[in-house]
């Protein structure tokens, strides 16, 4: 604790000195009165003053000596306190310098918030994080909120108000919008200090968020590479399995042609070649059917499930992709406990593909918020509908009729299979997939699924037996 400066004229030693001086003066007066009394009676001075009437007695000399010692002590003490204060001031300045350096290196700033007055104390780097110059204005809550991104201001204020009312610690993340247009991602942590104060820190996490986005983009790119690799392996497998029967078909067709092209056609040999050709063709069809069966709904794997639960899971899983595209995915689900029948993972795959298409469609949007909205509702007693709507630039009228065609795509990196596969999957679930779009206003994909009929599937329901 800092040692207070001492003034010998004011602190606790002053009254003691004054008392001693007053006591000495009283004794001096008493001694003078005694001498005057002796002189008046005898007409001579006491012996002790015969040589020098101003000569003090031993008691007065002792008192003077003690006063001199006390004064020297006071001066020494004052010098020691002044030296200690100088040392403290140097240490305090060094601590402030180190704190400022630490905050600059860690991109943090500290604050102290007075709940009663609304006045704050901000460190220099807190000012800089907000885009202010240190101490160029009063540190107030209004000055802090003025730097909040408009979209974050109201939710941030609600969170902090709730925390202060409950006297609880808080941790919030938000964006700062500086005067130069820079947007900074920040995180703030605070806790109560006494009855009227909150103390905390503000951290610049922009670099961390950018790193996370880069990581997600990398993961997405790796995922796509993996998908393309798997597709390449699948294509190689199909080519390998089809190569032999197709080669045999070509060979047998050529042989039949040669048998028939002889001067005397050999009908029997030509017939044998054609029989082999038919066999090889059937074998090729069998290979293709086996590949198709990989994606065909199997009755034994179908089950009743709540469509809203499946949609909610996809919305949660798409949060990372939405962040990568600087967008939001919002849901408004009203299908409730209504059950549909099918393979949940395939329905999830369809919904996720529609969400991802919507996010990618908004990459060029700059003048409005990027939002993909998902709604579900029961249309009647037989059908449930899910609508996926984006705020992109829409689909051109000449493109719209071909949007579900295989190998048709409007993307530079697309393969034109996603929407075609999505519609095929829904059709295997006895559902539908359609699209509505208007240039400049975004697109709406509507998918429908039939409500599961009672007894149409096993009693086992996805998510439990309720």
The answer on pLDDT for 459 being more than 70 is no
More confident residue, 329 or 10: 329
The residue with greater pLDDT, 153 or 57, is: 153
- Lowest model confidence (mean pLDDT) among 25-39, 145-159, 324-338: 25-39
135/51 Cα distance (integer angstroms): 74
Mean per-residue pLDDT, 94-117? 80
- pLDDT for position 5: 41
Judged by average pLDDT, the poorest of 28-37, 86-95, 325-334 is: 28-37
Q: What is the pLDDT of residue 376?
A: 93
Phi-psi region of 10 (alpha: psi -120 to 50; beta: other; left: phi over 0): alpha
**Is the model's pLDDT at 449 over the cut of 90?**
yes
* b/e burial code for range 47-80 (CB count within 10 A of at least 16 → b): eeeeeeeeeeeeeeeebeeeeeeeeeebeeeeee
Determine phi and psi for 385, rounding to 5 degrees: -115, 140
Distance CA 341, CA 339 (A): 7
Local confidence band at 366 (pLDDT 50, 70, 90 cut-offs): confident
- Specify the DSSP element, H or E, that contains 190: strand 183-193
Query: 184 pLDDT exceeds 70?
Result: yes
Per-residue pLDDT, averaged over 39-67, amounts to 58
Q: What is the pLDDT of residue 378?
A: 92
Least confident of 56-65, 86-95, 208-217: 56-65
Q: What pLDDT is recorded for position 382?
A: 86
pLDDT the model gives residue 1: 38
d(CA 305, CA 319): 23
Residue 466's pLDDT is 41
Structure confidence at residue 287 (pLDDT): 66
Q: Residue 453: what pLDDT? A: 77
Q: What is the mean pLDDT of the chain?
A: 77
Residue 24: its pLDDT value, please?
60
| Architecture category of domain 300-450 in CATH | 2-Layer Sandwich (3.30)
* Least confident residue range of 32-41, 191-200, 303-312: 32-41
Dump pLDDT digits (tens) for 370-402.
899 999 999 888 899 999 999 888 887 777 777
pLDDT > 70: what percent of the chain?
Answer: 72
Q: What whole-number distance in Å separates Cα of residue 306 and Cα of residue 176?
A: 41
- Helix (H) or strand (E) holding 372, with range, is strand 371-378
| Candidate CATH numbers 3.60.21.10, 3.30.450.20, 3.40.1550.10, 3.40.50.1820; the one for domain 107-204 | 3.30.450.20
Question: Is the predicted pLDDT of residue 463 greater than 80, yes or no?
Answer: no
CA distances for 92 relative to 3, 70, 135, 422, angstroms: 13, 32, 19, 68
Domain boundaries, the chain: 13-102, 107-204, 209-294, 300-450
- Evaluated on CA atoms 369, 372, 378, 380, the torsion sign reads positive
Q: Which residues does residue 373 pair with via DSSP β-bridges, in sequence order? A: 330, 389
pLDDT at 410: 64
């Amino acid at each position: 604790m800092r040692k207070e400066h001492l003034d010998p004229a004011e602190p606790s030693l002053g009254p003691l000195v004054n008392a001693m001086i007053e006591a000495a003066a009283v004794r001096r007066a008493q001694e003078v009165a005694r001498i005057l009394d002796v002189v008046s009676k005898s007409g001579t001075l006491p012996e002790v003053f015969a040589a020098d009437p101003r000569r003090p007695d031993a008691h007065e000399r002792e008192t003077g000596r003690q006063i001199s010692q006390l004064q020297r002590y006071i001066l020494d003490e004052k010098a020691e306190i002044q030296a200690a204060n100088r040392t403290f001031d140097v240490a305090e300045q060094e601590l402030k310098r180190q704190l400022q350096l630490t905050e600059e290196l860690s991109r943090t700033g500290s604050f102290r918030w007075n709940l009663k007055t609304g006045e704050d104390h901000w460190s220099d780097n807190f000012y800089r994080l907000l885009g202010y110059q240190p101490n160029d204005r009063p540190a107030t809550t209004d000055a802090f909120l003025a730097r909040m991104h408009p979209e974050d201001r109201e939710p941030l204020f609600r969170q902090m108000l709730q925390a202060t009312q409950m006297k609880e610690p808080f941790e919030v993340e938000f964006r700062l919008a500086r005067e130069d247009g820079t947007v900074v991602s920040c995180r703030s942590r605070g806790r109560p200090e006494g009855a009227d104060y909150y103390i905390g820190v503000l951290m610049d996490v922009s670099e961390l968020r950018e790193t996370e986005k880069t990581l997600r983009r990398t993961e997405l790119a790796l995922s796509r590479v993996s998908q393309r690799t798997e597709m390449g392996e699948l294509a190689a497998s199909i080519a390998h399995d089809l190569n032999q029967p197709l080669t045999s078909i070509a060979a047998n067709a050529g042989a039949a042609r040669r048998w028939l092209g002889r001067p005397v056609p050999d009908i029997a040999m030509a017939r044998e070649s054609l029989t082999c050709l038919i066999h090889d063709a059937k074998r090729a069809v069998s290979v293709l059917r086996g590949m198709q069966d990989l994606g065909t709904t199997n009755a034994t794997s179908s089950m009743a499930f709540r469509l809203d639960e499946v949609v909610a899971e996809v919305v949660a899983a798409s949060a990372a992709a939405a962040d990568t595209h600087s967008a939001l995915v919002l849901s408004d689900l009203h299908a409730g406990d209504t059950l549909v029948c099918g393979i949940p993972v395939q329905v999830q795959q369809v919904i996720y593909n529609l969400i991802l298409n919507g996010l990618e469609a908004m990459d060029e949007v700059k003048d409005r918020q990027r939002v993909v909205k998902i709604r579900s509702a029961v249309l009647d007693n037989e059908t449930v509908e899910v609508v996926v709507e984006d705020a992109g630039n829409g689909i051109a009228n000449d493109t719209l009729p071909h949007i579900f065609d295989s190998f048709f795509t409007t993307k530079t990196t697309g393969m034109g299979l996603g929407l075609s596969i999505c519609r095929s999957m829904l059709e295997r679930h006895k559902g539908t997939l359609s699209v509505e779009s208007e240039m400049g206003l975004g697109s709406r994909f509507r998918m429908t699924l039939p409500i599961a009929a009672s007894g149409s599937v096993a009693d086992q329901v996805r998510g439990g037996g309720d």
